[in-house]
């Protein structure tokens, strides 16, 4: 792992050096709305284990499923909401479960509803970000901010929001030691985005997958519109295989219901099956468009739960996008 820290107080540098540990494992490496549910007044924070909590999407400040991981020396917030008001509410929930003064803030990817709540965190909070996610922010951050801000529901939440500079950047994977709990931080892109990041709480076997594994495996970014890199189907499959090897007990995706290891397994099954069918049709001489015409209805029927039909046609478009990606990658 390569790591750099921004300039800042020497105490912060000492804390960072003590808490970030080089990994012993090897790296393999669209959302246009807010992804939000109406926020509720009461705390909905769920305790998953001795160390891990989650604010389900729709809970205080949570525009996605938000992770709160607590060690004896520090705490980690995974995804921080869409703006300062979200960040403040998430900090309030963190205060319910932790008295740690050292706080790390990270995100599963750079989309605004996962990262802009960092604006509300105190200057002492340590923002950690992969260089791949930083590249997403540099190349696409302003565009995504403007896109989300055009939504009338989002705009009030985003008042005062800025992309906070990273205090620590890293390449590949790393381990974050919070004191008594170690978290594998996994670089998983380019899948949904270039900088997709997963988090595995080692002893508790709890896995935060971002958009790389959800109940509906359709975060395909075929045209690279919502990231600085278009989806690579091979990289996505390799990342899902890495996650499956971890044998998680509990999975927390970015959006939608929490699950178990079957969430990764079903996502893998979908992409593997689609890859195989695309390979067959390409060998038969069908074009990418012809293959999509065959496979969209086929996969809506074969995976009715994972890939439900909807009136907007967005899922149909994403299946077609996945077909085009696989078609281009296959010999």
Structural domain containing residue 294? 262-331
Q: What is the pLDDT of residue 137?
A: 97
* Over residues 76-88, mean pLDDT: 97
> Does one domain contain both 156 and 242?
yes
> Does one domain contain both 53 and 202?
yes
**Tens of pLDDT along 189-248?**
899 999 999 999 999 999 999 999 988 766 666 666 789 888 888 899 999 999 999 999
* Burial grade of 20 (CB within 10 A; 0-12, 13-18, 19 or more): buried
Under the banding of pLDDT at 50, 70 and 90, the label for residue 179 is very high
**Paired tokens of 84:** 């300062």
> Does one domain contain both 203 and 314?
no
Instruction: Report the number of distinct structural domains present in the chain.
Output: 2
Query: Which residues are 208's β-sheet partners?
Result: 199, 252
> Does one domain contain both 160 and 47?
yes
Is the pLDDT score of 79 beyond 80? yes
* Over residues 27-51, mean pLDDT: 57
> Does one domain contain both 151 and 285?
no
State which of 230, 260, 290 marks the end of a domain: 260
> Does one domain contain both 113 and 174?
yes
* Over residues 105-122, mean pLDDT: 97
State which of 260, 293, 314 marks the end of a domain: 260
Helix (H) or strand (E) holding 329: helix 314-329
Is the pLDDT score of 318 beyond 80? no
Chain-centroid distance of CA 323 in Å reads 23
Select from 315, 326, 218, 316 the least CA-distant residue to 272.
Answer: 326
Under the banding of pLDDT at 50, 70 and 90, the label for residue 28 is very low
The pTM assigned to this predicted structure is: 0.86
Residue 35 · residue 64 · CB < 8 Å: yes
Chain-centroid distance of CA 161 in Å reads 20
Three-state DSSP state, 51: coil
**Tens of pLDDT along 259-293?**
999 999 988 988 899 999 999 999 999 999 999 99
Q: What is the pLDDT of residue 233?
A: 87
Residue scoring higher pLDDT (83 or 309): 83
CATH of residue 60: 3.60.15.10
């Amino acid at each position: 792992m390569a790591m750099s820290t921004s300039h800042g107080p020497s105490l912060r540098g000492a804390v960072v050096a003590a808490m970030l540990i080089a990994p012993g494992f090897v790296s393999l490496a669209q959302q246009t709305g807010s992804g939000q549910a109406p926020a509720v007044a009461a705390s909905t924070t769920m305790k998953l284990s001795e160390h891990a909590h989650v604010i389900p999407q729709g809970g205080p400040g949570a525009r996605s499923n938000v992770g709160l991981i607590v060690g004896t020396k520090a705490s980690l917030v995974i995804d921080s909401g869409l703006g300062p008001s979200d960040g403040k509410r998430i900090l309030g929930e963190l205060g319910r479960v932790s008295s740690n003064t050292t706080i790390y803030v990270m995100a599963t990817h750079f989309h605004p509803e996962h990262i802009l709540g960092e604006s509300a965190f105190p200057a002492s909070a340590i923002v950690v970000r992969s260089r791949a996610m930083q590249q997403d922010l540099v190349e696409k951050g302003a565009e995504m901010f403007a896109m989300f801000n055009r939504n009338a529901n989002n705009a009030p939440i985003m008042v005062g929001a800025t992309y906070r500079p990273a205090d620590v950047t890293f390449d590949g994977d790393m381990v974050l030691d919070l004191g008594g709990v170690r978290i594998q931080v996994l670089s998983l892109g380019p899948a949904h985005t270039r900088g997709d990041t997963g988090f595995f709480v080692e002893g508790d076997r709890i896995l935060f997958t971002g958009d790389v594994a959800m109940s509906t495996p359709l975060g395909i970014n075929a045209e690279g519109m919502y990231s600085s890199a278009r989806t690579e189907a091979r990289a996505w499959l390799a990342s899902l295989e890495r996650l499956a090897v971890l044998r998680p007990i509990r999975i927390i995706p970015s959006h939608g219901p929490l699950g178990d290891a079957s969430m990764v397994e079903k996502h893998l099954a979908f992409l593997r099956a689609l890859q195989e069918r695309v390979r067959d049709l390409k060998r038969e001489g069908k074009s990418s468009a012809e293959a999509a015409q065959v496979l969209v209805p086929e996969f809506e029927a074969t995976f009715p739960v994972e890939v439900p039909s909807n009136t907007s046609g967005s899922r149909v478009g994403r299946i077609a996008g996945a077909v085009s990606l696989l078609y281009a990658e296959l010999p």
